């Protein structure tokens, strides 16, 4: 319930108060045992990150999202991947950060759960717009090569699936 109106709360509280008060409170939700609450966090955090900006994302939120990639609940891992996809779609990651995230996500292309695999594919499809063909070949392809059964032609979802 609370997380569904977090965007309105951000607007009301203004950026500095969100950074100082709301963001630390939201991050504590990741300590809860309930996977639904942790998933809800990842569904709502994109709007908060868009509000507070790249610096807060890099310093506070991104480490939490990356840690969630190793959560025991696959639905939480999938929600974290979807969150990373949405953040990539709105270009809140720096290029260096995207490559670091890609290195951490690429093993998930072999995950037994289809939600997790599709989330990983979605992330690579989302970052495709940030890289040209030469950059994909030089930077992204080496990260993906060990986890693909055929050569990488493009970062389109159909080539990764």
> Per-domain residue ranges for the chain?
2-160
What's the CA gap between 130 and 136, in Å, rounded? 9
Choice between 135 and 2, residue whose per-residue pLDDT is larger: 135
Choice between 15 and 138, residue whose per-residue pLDDT is larger: 138
Query: Mean pLDDT lowest for which of 36-45, 68-77, 125-134?
Result: 125-134
Nearest to 41 by CA among 75, 89, 90: 75
Choice between 77 and 157, residue whose per-residue pLDDT is larger: 77
What's the CA gap between 68 and 53, in Å, rounded? 21
CA 121 to chain centre: 12
In which region does residue 148 sit, left (phi positive, over 0), alpha (psi from -120 to 50) or beta (all else)? beta
CATH number of 2-160: 1.25.10.10
Crossing angle of helices 35-52 and 74-89, rounded to 10°: 10
Choice between 103 and 153, residue whose per-residue pLDDT is larger: 103
The reported pTM is 0.88
User: At residue 124, does pLDDT exceed 70?
Assistant: yes
Whole-angstrom Cα Rg for the chain? 16
Binned at pLDDT 50, 70 and 90, residue 94 comes out as confident
Share of the chain above pLDDT 70, in %: 92
Tens digit of each residue's pLDDT (9 = 90 or more) over 2-60? 567 788 888 888 888 888 888 888 899 999 999 999 999 999 898 888 888 888 889 99
């Amino acid at each position: 319930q609370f997380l569904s109106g977090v965007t309105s709360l951000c607007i009301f509280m203004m950026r500095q108060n969100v950074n100082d008060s709301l963001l630390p409170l939201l991050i504590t939700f990741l300590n809860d045992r309930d996977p639904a609450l942790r998933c809800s966090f990842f569904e709502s955090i994109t709007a908060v990150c868009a509000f507070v900006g790249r610096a807060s994302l890099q310093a506070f939120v991104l480490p939490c999202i990356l840690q969630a990639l190793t959560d025991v609940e696959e639905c939480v891992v999938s929600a974290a991947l979807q969150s990373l996809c949405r953040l990539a779609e709105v270009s809140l990651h720096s290029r260096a950060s995207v490559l670091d995230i890609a290195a951490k996500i690429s093993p998930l292309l072999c995950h037994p759960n289809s939600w997790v695999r599709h989330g990983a594919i979605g992330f690579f499809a989302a970052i495709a717009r940030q890289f040209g063909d030469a950059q994909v070949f030089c930077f992204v392809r080496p990260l993906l090569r060990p986890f693909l059964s055929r050569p990488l032609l493009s970062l389109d979802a159909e080539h990764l699936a």
